[in-house]
Homo-oligomer: A and B are copies of this chain.
Amino acid sequence: MSPETAKSLETKTKLLDGALRTLTEQGIAKTSARTVAAAAGVNQALVFYHFGSLNDLLAAACRYGAEQRVARYRDRFDTITSLSELLAFGREMHEEERAFGHVSLLGQLLAGAQTHESLGSATVAGLDLWITEIEKVLDRVLAHTPFGEFVDPPGLARAVAASFVGIELYEGADPEGAGAALDALEQLGRLVAALDDLGPVAQRAVRHRLRRTQR
């Protein structure tokens, strides 16, 4: 691919932004080299000149977009030490991302990845940026809870990320339903956070019970 002249970089950036806008606003099914180029305000063939193919552009856009978003929160992620802090931050962050459709974008890409191996791995890479941050926080936060030894942060981080993607896609079709789902999860989170604050006797009882049940 070409060395980065200023002109080239400008066009590439326009295309990356156009791709993100088109994916979030129109969905993967309506995302074509033409629609993306139109959103970017450049000639359609530049998709192929600068990125080789539409899918390669989408893959690049995914990395570009995810990196931008995660960078925005990385510092704040590091300051979280308790489950209730995590809940509050999660809600806030989610509202912000939702407004721009950044979460359902990953859903659109996962849907498109069905047929394109390369798009799949790019999306997984983008998701992994989120997962890594979530995992670090879970590690730190869960270590001090009575159930910390029974949960698997890497797996749970993936479950959280994928679940949010599903809920955001769902929101596009049923906003009230998705709202109810998010409220229920938040309620559940508060419930777990409350267990965290149990007295020592009750905590020991819980821990003991769990040890007996987990294989």
Contacts and interface: CB of A to CB of B under 8 A. Distances in A.
Interface of A: 25-31, 104, 107-108, 110-115, 120-121, 123-124, 127, 131, 147, 150-152, 154-156, 158-159, 161-167, 169-170, 172-174, 177-178, 180-185, 187-188, 190-191, 193-195, 197-199, 201-202, 205-206, 209-210, 212-214
Given A107-B107, A169-B162, A169-B165, A114 B26 contact: yes
Copies in the complex: 2
Contacts of A188: 151, 156
A50 B27 CA distance: 26
23 contacts: A27-B113, A27-B114, A28-B111, A28-B112, A29-B31, A29-B115, A107-B166, A110-B169, A113-B173, A120-B173, A121-B173, A150-B191, A152-B184, A154-B180, A155-B180, A159-B167, A159-B185, A161-B170, A162-B170, A163-B166, A194-B212, A197-B213, A199-B209
